[in-house]
Amino acid sequence: MATFRAVSRAARSVTWRNGAARLSMAAAKGGAANSTATKDAGAAVEAVDAPPLPVVWAGPGPLDTQGVRCEEVVVKVNNESVSRFENATNKAESFSHERPPIMPFDLAWVMDARMNKSGIERRCAEYGTRRSIKKNWQAAWLLRAVTCVDLTTLAGDDTPGKVDRLCAKAVNPVRRDILRDLGVSDALAQQIKCGAVCVYPSRVADAVKALKGTGIPVASVATGFPAGQIKHEHKLEEIRQCVADGATEIDIVINRQAALCGDWETVHGECAEFREACGDAHMKAILAVGELATLTNIHRASLTCMMAGADFIKTSTGKEKTNAALPNTLVMARAVRDYLQTTGYRVGLKVAGGVTSAKAVLAYQALMKEELGHEWLHADLFRIGASTLVTDIERQLHHQSTGQYAASYYMPLS
């Protein structure tokens, strides 16, 4: 059953719901409601889990849908999954769950990228407004976000005690009384843990010891983080030492000098050597988007790192003036999709730096779901690098369960 709602304002919002799909259309000012079907299905059709609602239409006149009828809007069964990209136009015959290999460098593919900045910004402006998630659905999305967080401490005052404290928070990121009030079972509550703990190389052994038996991986930054201004052989040795100390995920920084000079072959060659030094440890390639100057460079860096075998591409070190933002994340997500459709390999994406609020993380989750599919809402393909985000999510969940906001100091280990 379709549902239409109208609000008595000059700018009216008309919403169509049918099962698991919603088509939002903007109404004209002061007259009959008008809408224009967008060419971008991703911008017009948003997958939501909501039951059918009764028909309610209180508009000023007959609804003009510009020739688009509800029964003509078809949402595929797998619309929320990566399988929606499986079509005859893909170069890849099928999509693989195997780890991305090191691929030969294809300069023509890298240089083919052209970004429409105004279009990207217009697209990103919708995520915080039209992609609104409320009430129990919001609580569920935030709990999923917690499981994707790389809880991070990268400061000069890091000590073994501080790392132990961080690891304890990673094991129990949300107060158990809040989870019980939300109706989360004890068995499920035990599964709500952070995706990883990220530290400096000198603190890897401390984190491994603190997380023993928890199943939470230890990630370490390397290769001269954050600037990367050390010799290449020193970068390789730092990776090997981190792996030897027990790190199973390595966050490397790319050569920004080579990237800014357009020497993408050097960037690819160095990252490929980093991947070999990682061995079985997963490699996250930090692009440092705030230092790459243009969205086109971000797309080119993304493709180059994926060709070099990166398991994840990551926005920022968190130390630049400009860190993770929806526009640069959208560019990287489109690069991941392009790589998937061309090679068949799935590459993860990590946003880091400046993601400090529950509201912000919901926008990133909406972006990932729409651009790549619900597989990129899980920790094996999506990560959020943060140090204070979990506390804000915990406060939001407390509000959901009690109706009141708690100060951050009421949250343990905040």
231 is catalytic: no
Report the residue count for the chain.
414
150 is catalytic: no
251 is catalytic: yes
Q: Determine which one of 169, 193, 284, 350 is catalytic.
A: 350
Q: Determine which one of 251, 311, 369, 392 is catalytic.
A: 251
Q: Determine which one of 169, 193, 235, 314 is catalytic.
A: 314
Active site residues: 251, 314, 350
